[in-house]
Amino acid sequence: MQSADGKRQLMIHYWCDYGSQSIDYTLAQASLFSAFPQSPIVYSALLMEYGNIREQAIILKQFKDAFPRGVIHICHISTKSTEPPRYMVVKYNESYFLGPANDFMQLGFELDELEYYIIPNDGTNKWNTLKDIYIPAAELIYQNMERPLSELFKPKQNLRKPLWIQPTIKANNIKLSCMYIDIHGNCYFNISKIEFEKHRQNRKVRTRTQMATIHGIVNDYNDMPEGRPLVLFGHGELFQLAQNSGNLSKNFGIYQDHIIIVEFYEEDHTPLGGNALSTG
């Protein structure tokens, strides 16, 4: 789609971590509409733990492939007060991601070899980061869509590459660690669907926790009765333990860094068959 002047219309995705009840959210909407009056804008106001890069990275993993190509994602999320006010931009899958240089993007794009660039800043904390940092950078990208980022920004030097704790993989089982727990108590673990299926090799699956053994993998929460725990690949196709109409983290005692074991086997020895549960 193109605007009246022939320039390609660009979608803006604004992600903040202070929620929609803040006056800052209203002012952000006003600033973005003023800067990009012809562009569709998607707003994501998510209350998150201040400066938690694990949570930031998991949220990024869940939405980075959900949008069409050609989107500018402004990740206006908090950093710790001890971190310097630095910002960067990266291009992934024909879209642009702008955010703080606090390592959350490298963690979110952990398996992708990407080039990161510095968003100019004089080294001081800006009162309005959106207007002073992110919008000028987004406007520069919008006005130069056909040019590579290397012509618009300086490359980020000495880039750290943080990694999640890696799964422990054996022939017939995988030991996984809980990376993140959302507000509903759903637990996300450190393996993607692609990696998991590579090791599964079409075998049956049972997942063991301290309080339950869950057989099979479902496609939707409602595939299990209310109150029952389940395994599925949720948003971002990350391995997830959840509970239909319940808080799995609290009810089954699974917290961040908790270890579970996923076993692969050829024959179904589950008395109830299919997606069954045994506890104890």
Residue 277, pLDDT score: 52
CATH number of 11-155: 3.40.50.10790
**CATH topology agreement for domains 11-155 and 168-279:** no
Domain ranges of the chain: 11-155, 168-279
Residue 280, pLDDT score: 36
**Calpha distance 264→62 (Å, rounded):** 26
Residue 204, pLDDT score: 95
Residue 268, pLDDT score: 56
How far the first Cα of the chain sits from its last, in Å, is: 57
91-115 burial code (b ≥16 CB/10 A, e <16) = bbeebbbbbbbbbbbbbbbeeeeee
pLDDT tens-digit series, residues 131-189: 999 999 999 999 998 899 999 999 998 888 888 889 999 989 999 999 999 999 999 99
Residue 199, pLDDT score: 93
For the chain (280 residues), the mean pLDDT of every run of 10, in chain order, is: 55 94 94 95 92 93 94 95 90 96 93 90 82 96 94 91 89 94 94 94 94 94 92 94 95 94 80 43
Question: Cα angle vertex 148, ends 135, 111, to 5°?
Answer: 90
CATH number of 168-279: 2.40.30.90
